[in-house]
Structure 1
Amino acid sequence: MSNTSPMAAKRDVLVVANLGLGEKFLDHGVLYQHGLSETFADVALVSSEELMSRVDRVDRSRQLILFLDKDVALAELLELQGAVVVNSSRAIEICDDKRRTYAHLAAAGLRIPKTMMLPPVYPKQQIAFGLVMSMIDEIGLPMVIKEAKGSFGAQVYLANTAEDVFALVDALADRHLLAQEFVASSRGRDLRLQVVDGVCIAAIARQHPDDFRANLSAGGVGYPYQPSETERRLAEASANAVGGFNVGVDLLFDEGNEGSIVCEVNSNAHIWRLSAISGIDVTRYVGQALGRWLQQ
């Protein structure tokens, strides 16, 4: 680890990623470093741990940081120390907790699946039987059970029967959970739209032949896709609802085969496959948008 904090050396942009998580996260950071280099003269890629510093020593040197991590506390600390962090700590916090994501989407009047939050319980406790039964009555079967925090399609489960629901709720009772309507018209397929500075700049369709989830990291296949104006506006409104500058928005297909239902908003979406499939270099758009934003 470097003994010199990158905050001490003035950069045009710092790209911050949790590089210790493996090659996929390193590649993600390198992509952005290269893309932003077309707009900014000095772009440094650093690991999140290199920015760990004494909280009681406030560095007021202003810095632009593209934050590709989910460490909300670190992002907020950097903001309090004078840095401009994109996405903001608040946007990351909202997107990284699906309970908060859906609350903000619903408050903005955007269509989401029927969704209920389950209260967390203390160890050795169970969620009340009556609550689970009322949840089944309200949402119907099959239903999707989601952990509030999760990435790449993990921590998302399909419950086909009441027995499945009770088994999942019991097994995951110590975690924050949501119960959600299963949108049958979108089984194994969805849309991913990338929104940068309020504008949808790229989109792909995703499909999985054997899974209800369409995530590419879960084995799904991506295809080029031209979103409708309605789908573009919905993705842009979703990004605005969570305060995201650079986000990936997942839309589910309704019965009319249009992506009109918001599934999730991702503040730290990996973009290399979306860029490869769509033919659009997301990182260049992000760099250009940040450059325009700094000139305002």
Structure 2
Amino acid sequence: MKLSCWIIYNGFLPGNKFRDYAEMIQEAAIAHGHEATLYTNSDIVSFLDQEINIISLKNDLLPDYIVYTDKDIYLAKQLELLHIPVFNCAKAIDISDDKIKTYQMLAAKQIPIPRTVFAPKTFGLHVHFDDLFFQSIIEQFGFPLIMKEAFGSFGEQVYFVSNVVELKEQVEKIADRPFMFQQFIETSYGVDLRLQVVGDEVITAMKRTSNTDFRANVTSGGKMETYIPNDAEKALAIRASKAIGADFAGVDLLFGENNERIVCEVNSNAHIRNLYDCTGVNVAPDIIQYIEKRLGEREQ
């Protein structure tokens, strides 16, 4: 029986990288003999009443599975409520999208992360923290330290803080949003690893290096090179992916003291084009093959 799938991406975000990712998945699905259709999150309209229903503007036939490359968690959950297998699942995407939730899950599984303190919830109000609060942060981390907003991609919404003046100024700027304070890993300044996990395997990896920024993200000027991870790095990345419930993820590792590895982020919707350009490995076929295996297990 020929499988059908939808690949859903966000149609509102600028640039073509989001559609490109979806197209890479589509090409791999078609190569495996699947019927694969691209949709944006705005192509599908959800209707809720006593019976959960969903109507696509283009196709009323529901697919056998969905590869969900977006962060529109409400739609992902709605599709799951219709009993359609969604990869990654809504819960994993939700955790990955919120860095505070991610670190909570990683810490709960005793996975090494930078020491982290998340700020109190302010309900969107632009509040002012007192000196006692700032003193407690300084005592915990010293300088420099890192501040991160809970929501952000491509290394954005991450701030390097050198002194108390910068600390107070940065808190003033983002106090109406969820954010955290984090230990600065000096031994990983401008360098990190990206390992692409699919199921129980690390498919490929790259090392990113920047000479001009504390962040190694390519969008921040980082350069890429192929990296061969060791067994410990692979095991750590797989543990991190499973900690958030992801079927596949891009896991970013930092270089800690004594050459240890520390998990920086787990990206449930990691774009795979840069990895392909760097390593020559297209992860999309591995994702489709993994999904076929999972669907077969469901059948059994």
Aligned pairs for 1:75-86 within 5 A = 75-86=76-87
Q: Which residue of 1 aligns with 2:105?
A: 104
Q: Which residue of 2 aligns with 1:212?
A: 214
Q: CA deviation at 1:62?
A: 6.0
* TM-score normalised by structure 2 residue count: 0.91
2:128 to 105, 112, 126: 126
Q: Distance in 2 between matches of 1:42 and 1:205?
A: 35
Q: CA deviation at 1:77?
A: 0.8
Which piece of structure 1 moves more, 14-23 or 169-178? 14-23
Q: CA deviation at 1:41?
A: 2.2
Q: Distance in 1 between matches of 2:181 and 2:89?
A: 28
Aligned pairs for 1:88-237 within 5 A = 88-121=89-122, 122-237=124-239
Q: Distance in 2 between matches of 1:28 and 1:17?
A: 8
Q: Residue type of the partner of 2:28?
A: G
Contact 2:249/2:270 (CA < 8 Å) preserved in 1? Answer: yes
Contact 1:62/1:84 (CA < 8 Å) preserved in 2? Answer: no
Q: Which runs of no fewer than 5 residues in structure 2 stay unpaired?
A: 55-60
Is the aligned partner of 1:53 residue 2:46?
yes
Is the aligned partner of 1:240 residue 2:242?
yes
Q: Distance in 1 between matches of 2:62 and 2:31?
A: 24
Q: Distance in 2 between matches of 1:34 and 1:50?
A: 20
Q: CA deviation at 1:58?
A: 2.0
Which piece of structure 1 moves more, 243-252 or 53-62? 53-62
Give SS of 1:284's match: helix
1:108/1:40 CA distance change after superposition, 3 Å: farther
Q: Which residue of 1 aligns with 2:6?
A: 14
Q: CA deviation at 1:11?
A: 6.0
Contact 2:29/2:35 (CA < 8 Å) preserved in 1? Answer: no
Q: Distance in 2 between matches of 1:261 and 1:124?
A: 33
Q: Which runs of no fewer than 5 residues in structure 1 stay unpaired?
A: 1-9
Structure 1 runs, 4 residues or longer, greater than 3 Å off: 59-63
Q: CA deviation at 1:190?
A: 0.1
Offset from partner CA, 1:169-217 (integer Å, 9 cap, x none): 1111100011000000000000000111121111000011100000011
Q: Distance in 1 between matches of 2:136 and 2:237?
A: 32
Q: Distance in 2 between matches of 1:123 and 1:111?
A: 33
Is the aligned partner of 1:279 residue 2:280?
yes
Q: Residue type of the partner of 1:58?
A: N
Q: CA deviation at 1:281?
A: 1.1
Offset from partner CA, 1:109-146 (integer Å, 9 cap, x none): 11001100001325342123212210111122100000
Contact 1:62/1:83 (CA < 8 Å) preserved in 2? Answer: yes
Percent identical across equivalent pairs?
38
Q: Residue type of the partner of 2:268?
A: S
Give SS of 1:263's match: strand
Contact 2:46/2:75 (CA < 8 Å) preserved in 1? Answer: no
Q: Which residue of 1 aligns with 2:57?
A: none
RMSD: 1.6
Contact 2:6/2:38 (CA < 8 Å) preserved in 1? Answer: yes
